[in-house]
Structure 1
């Protein structure tokens, strides 16, 4: 197949599917969600959470003794909701439906009730549980907060194209203002079952599959999934799903305007003692410029800019998974980002591996060998 007819050339993965491999979409999904609406967390210290959130570039949309709603500059619902809880945990994700009819259709198909959302959010929703046990809410009619002033991308002199004359570049060292929620990455012990659930119930489609080296015949172990919005461009991935020894949140990503905002915002975070996990670099799948940080509760969060956008015509790419294949350029990947640095997270994953290998799920000894090979690659 030559480059003129190859739908994967210069787009994402160099390879397409082989005969009989996963098609990356459902033939007749129940609904097709339009985007991520928000993510929900529980944390014991809302003051500490808000302090980090402001340094990271969120604005506070609502603050009560028991709840913190964080927003970006785009006109939208709050993109993060933090409820006061006894321990830090990820509670689930909410997706935006096209309209109320889709929420009703999904409720009827799953036998779940339709609920009125709190007045602070507005609209209706149906709460589902994916095969990994994750809470998934699909909502419509929610209040859209008015847009806020956003950072303006810098005017750049690129190559021999001169757009800036008789003036200097002095980006301020300030928080990189979050524009919007981009994606969430989740790990599942029932990866294929969970993947198929998202494709069937939410109408999402796969942009890229990854498989463990030498194990392609066993099928993929990671997928980057986007919303199917027809001719309208959507993020390369709204959800990324990966096989692993536990069902857990991995990270979430928030768009900022450009590289300078991301870099200056990173310096602002560093000067205030926050921990950079990995960055700055540019990913391969999705192409985003990235910078990963740990919040005070240990959650991994990402600033990103300049990500790929696909319409519904693009078929999935296929590529082997490797740690070195996560970035086109940037510093070496860190043990903290991989979750193998000594500490509570790696200890939890080690216990999860032992437990998972004793249970009936998709994470078996061969998959463990593949994961260890990736971590050392």
Structure 2
């Protein structure tokens, strides 16, 4: 029998924590970041990255010989900063502090110096390393790019509620206009240590925990983490962390206006020869309508719309991790999305797993068996 007083019912997981499980937040964090500011990559071919960015729905806000900034239509910083480099690499994420004093407070608490960002961005940053060795920036005072015209909204007829008469619905097949950066998903061999670091230093809070089937007593292996804005709702997750055999970028997600923008934008990408990884569907944790694509450098990127928003009062949900549980509806998760597609990448993943099992980290043999069970469920 479902307890309808449970605040998780109908929102994320119907089940909360058991006694002694992770509370999903730090008691006294150093600061509380306001949002995810941008992501940074290195790529050898900026022209190719810019062409894909335009097809995906970004607008170029800066282009030099050595740097490319891609933005959405919302006011604020660019969503993605790409620097020219010898190989394709994820360099790290930048989080937006709620106040410039928070950058200074975090710098003092960690024994680091706050420094000025380049004139192309403005503001200040403190650059830290999380326990996985990934550079994490916390920034403030950056120059806001002005808002751009958004993608035109459609008028919908819902059931018997007729808002559109004597007019056909004909969304054009064109790039979806990215509005903003939504979240980034990272994999780490030091999951619990890395999770606690983000909660304690940046004041993030967990919306949902996932655990391997049959291994709940060992704790979670994935967490969907949001910004704590008090009574102001925030995205279900700004950062997601997953335990795995390597410390790496998994994917990033960018909000678009609605399902039509997402679907017709996907048709445009497909028409121009780009590879859909998985979609279209609706997630469970976060509820987003999603569509995943591979950029020419192999990075996984997501269009999303209609995601959940939680304020600070909601406690974490707990649920088993399964491949079938990644979506409420849509096609099954693909081998490409799950990282088990035959080819060079899967061979590299096997070598990574064998290497991880020889090292002292959280990804041990039992965790490997749990991960393999996820792919079969």
Query: Counterpart in 1 of 2:124?
Result: 124
Alignment of 1:293-332 (within 5 A): 293-332=293-332
Structure 1 stretches of 4+ with a deviation exceeding 6 A read none
The separation in 2 between residues aligned to 1:156 and 1:322, in whole angstroms, is 34
TM-superposed CA distance for 1:14, in Å, is 1.0
Query: Counterpart in 2 of 1:145?
Result: 145
Work out whether 1:353 is the aligned partner of 2:375: no
Query: Counterpart in 1 of 2:46?
Result: 46
Unaligned runs of 5+ in 1: none
Work out whether 1:249 is the aligned partner of 2:249: yes
The separation in 2 between residues aligned to 1:366 and 1:124, in whole angstroms, is 43
**3-state DSSP class of the match of 1:34?**
strand
TM-superposed CA distance for 1:350, in Å, is 1.0
TM-superposed CA distance for 1:376, in Å, is 1.4
Query: Counterpart in 2 of 1:83?
Result: 83
RMSD of equivalent CA atoms: 0.8
Determine if contact 2:6/2:14 at 8 Å carries over to the other structure. no
The separation in 2 between residues aligned to 1:233 and 1:350, in whole angstroms, is 40
Alignment of 1:1-377 (within 5 A): 3-377=3-377
Query: Could you list the per-position Cα deviations for residues 83-136 of structure 1 after superposition, in whole angstroms to 9, with x for gaps in the alignment?
Result: 000000100000000111000000000001111000010000000000011110
**3-state DSSP class of the match of 1:87?**
coil
The separation in 2 between residues aligned to 1:369 and 1:328, in whole angstroms, is 25
**3-state DSSP class of the match of 1:69?**
strand
The separation in 2 between residues aligned to 1:373 and 1:150, in whole angstroms, is 43
The separation in 1 between residues aligned to 2:246 and 2:349, in whole angstroms, is 7
Query: Could you list the per-position Cα deviations for residues 262-291 of structure 1 after superposition, in whole angstroms to 9, with x for gaps in the alignment?
Result: 000000000000000000000011000000
The separation in 2 between residues aligned to 1:180 and 1:207, in whole angstroms, is 21
TM-superposed CA distance for 1:247, in Å, is 0.2
TM-superposed CA distance for 1:5, in Å, is 2.1
Determine if contact 2:61/2:78 at 8 Å carries over to the other structure. yes
The separation in 1 between residues aligned to 2:212 and 2:280, in whole angstroms, is 26
TM-score, L = length of structure 2: 0.99
**3-state DSSP class of the match of 2:348?**
helix
The separation in 2 between residues aligned to 1:38 and 1:104, in whole angstroms, is 20
Closer, same or farther: CA 2–325 of 1 in aligned 2, 3 Å: closer
**3-state DSSP class of the match of 1:286?**
coil
**3-state DSSP class of the match of 2:33?**
coil
The separation in 2 between residues aligned to 1:79 and 1:346, in whole angstroms, is 29
Alignment size in residue pairs: 377
